[in-house]
């Protein structure tokens, strides 16, 4: 920009001729002229009128610290009535969340993703599994009891009707009579299985 301006003034040659000699487009040259003296901020955030200013964020945080038991929605309208700041509930939530001031209602740590507590020995935990079997186009129920430690099938049975809770309890009692016992039992239900793909043909 300085080169074109200086030599255009000294030689009285128009800037357009210099643009042609420098092999740059006119639109790029005039874009450079508009940005002359400004800091290059490629893909930078363009400030908006609706953005919260720092003093507004500090006011929201300060009002929350004075009223820690109020939810962010109630805080929004309390600040509006008090003439502190006029912002939306979502803006209040965003400011408090970024400041780490929002806490869950349930303070207990989540067990999600920690996995199942695996048993340390055989017959400590049994799994009662009920699956569907497609045998020759007819659905049957595969009732099985698996050991949670070894995955050994303690007992199994195929029935035309879904086993009831009473029948499951009876089968557990009959297994215990043979000297096997479990302190915990979990019931699950599996997806349908096709006899040919999973268990071989039984037609």
How high is the pLDDT of residue 124? Answer: 80
How high is the pLDDT of residue 168? Answer: 60
Strand-by-strand arrangement of the 125-135 sheet: 153-159, 138-147, 125-135, 184-194
Q: Burial of 144 by CB count in 10 Å (0-12 exposed, 13-18 middle, 19+ buried)?
A: middle
Mean pLDDT for the chain overall: 76
Asked if pLDDT for residue 196 goes beyond 50, the answer is no
How high is the pLDDT of residue 145? Answer: 82
**195: confidence class by pLDDT, cuts 50, 70, 90:** very low
pLDDT digits (tens, 9 = 90+) for 57-96: 999 999 999 998 888 999 999 999 999 999 999 999 999 9
How high is the pLDDT of residue 150? Answer: 84
Asked if pLDDT for residue 202 goes beyond 60, the answer is no
Share of the chain above pLDDT 90, in %: 18
Token pair for residue 115? 């996995």
**Cα separations (Å) of 186 from 26, 115, 140, 144?**
76, 15, 21, 12
pLDDT digits (tens, 9 = 90+) for 142-170: 888 888 888 888 888 888 877 666 556 65
Q: What's the mean pLDDT in 110-135?
A: 77
How high is the pLDDT of residue 144? Answer: 83
- Beta strands per DSSP E along the chain: 125-135, 138-147, 153-159, 184-194
């Amino acid at each position: 920009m300085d080169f074109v301006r200086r030599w255009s003034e000294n030689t009285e040659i128009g800037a357009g001729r210099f643009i042609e000699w420098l092999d740059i487009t006119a639109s790029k040259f005039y874009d450079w002229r508009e940005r002359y003296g400004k800091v290059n901020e490629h893909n930078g955030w363009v400030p908006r009128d609706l953005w919260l200013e720092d003093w507004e964020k500090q006011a929201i945080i300060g009002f929350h610290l004075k009223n820690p038991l109020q939810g962010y929605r109630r805080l929004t309208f309390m600040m509006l009535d008090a003439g502190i700041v006029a912002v939306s509930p979502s803006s209040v939530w965003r400011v408090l969340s970024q400041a780490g001031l929002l806490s869950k209602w349930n303070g207990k740590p989540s067990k999600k993703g920690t996995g199942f507590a695996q048993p340390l020995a055989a017959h400590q935990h049994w799994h009662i599994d009920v699956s569907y079997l497609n045998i020759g186009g007819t659905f049957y129920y595969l009732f099985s009891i698996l050991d949670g430690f070894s995955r050994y099938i303690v007992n199994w049975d195929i029935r035309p009707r879904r086993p009831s809770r009473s029948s499951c309890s009876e089968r557990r009692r009959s297994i215990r009579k043979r000297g096997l016992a479990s302190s915990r039992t979990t019931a699950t239900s599996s997806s349908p299985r096709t006899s040919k793909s999973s268990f071989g043909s039984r037609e």
